[in-house]
Structures are given as C-alpha cells and as structure tokens.
Amino acid sequence: MRVIAALGAGLVAFACGIRAQSAPSQSASALLDKLVGHWRMVGHVGAQPVAYDMVARRALHDRYVELHMTDVARPARYEALVYIGEDTVPNRVVVHWIDSFGAAFSIPYGQGAVMGDTVQFEIPYPGVPFRDAFVYRRADNTWHFRLESNRGGDAWKLFAEYEVQAADSSAR
C-alpha cells in the first residue's frame, strides 16, 4: 500500500463522512491560521498505526499555509509538503500535495472549501481520487484529519485518520 496517501493525497467532497462542525462562519484564512504551529499526528493508515511530526507555517507571502509532515520513524519512511491557500472565491481553497513519492504523484492539485471549522478538499488522482476533511476542535485546540479514497464507483472508503495535537502544549 502506498503511503502517498498515507498522509493523504488530500482531497472536495463535502459529504466526506465528517460534517462541518457548527461554528461561527469564518474565512478560510482565519481557519488556516489555526493550523500554524508544531503538531503531532497519531492515527492509522488502513489498520497500521502511524505517527507524524507536522510543522505548519505561513508561506509564499502568507498566501498559503505550508504543512511539513514527516514520519517519526528513523529513518523516516514518508515526508510531505502540503500547501493550502485561499482561492479568489471566498472560502474556497486550493491544495498542492508534494511528497516523497515524487513529482508524478503530485499531479493534479486539489480544490475544496472551508465550512465552519472544517477544511474539506479533494485531489482527483487518476484512478484513485482522495478527499480529506481537516476538522478544527475549538474546545481543546486540536484537529481531526480524515482521508478517504475511491477506487471506483460511488463508495468512498476510509484510508487514514489522525488525531492532531500540539507537539508542545505549552507553546499553544
């Protein structure tokens, strides 16, 4: 199984199994700012447990949030840079997923939207599209990432799921 999607070939489907949490409406930029920081991602890809270190920062004149994810295994088996930026249409986002599997797996880019406290997007990889939902939890300042894939037909299946918490809770 490829780890390209391990972290997600990130991904717009607004029916992706996680609904946007009820929250005051906010701009995509404001929600993306909540991703900025140093995070620890713990979850599973399929049935296999995984953990990643993630550093998120504003990049490219603050037009994107760059997520730099690295497998905590030594040596790391997977690494990704994900750029999420607000489109010219309010609350619409564009996603570029670049990872250690190479350039061929970085095409095409993804699109999605911010709804409440959820960033949802889809990357239409040929043959196996992916979609992600990144849900911000205001109560404890954490995130929940859910990735799904579709190998054909109408059935989206869980590919990976992560709980994302501040790596250093005193820093948040």
Domains parsed from the chain with CATH numbers: 3-171 (2.40.128.20)
Give the model's pLDDT for residue 12.
Answer: 30
What is the per-residue burial (b if ≥16 Cβ within 10 Å, else e) of 28-40?
A: bbebbebbebebb
Tokens at 166, concatenated: 């501040």
Per-residue tens of pLDDT for the chain, all 172 residues: 333 333 333 333 333 333 333 343 467 889 999 999 999 999 999 889 999 999 999 999 988 999 999 999 888 888 999 999 988 888 899 999 998 887 777 778 899 999 999 999 999 988 889 999 999 999 999 999 999 999 877 789 999 999 999 997 544 4
Q: 48, 109, 54, 58: which is closest to 80 by C-alpha?
A: 54
Taking the C-alpha atoms of residue 36 and residue 29, their distance in angstroms, rounded to an integer, is 11
pLDDT at 87: 85
Contact status, residue 77 vs residue 3, Cβ threshold 8 Å: yes
Helix H or strand E encompassing 157: strand 157-166
Written as six digits, the tokens of 50 are 């995984």
**What is the predicted pLDDT for the residue at 102?**
79
As a whole number of angstroms, the distance between CA 62 and CA 139 comes to 26
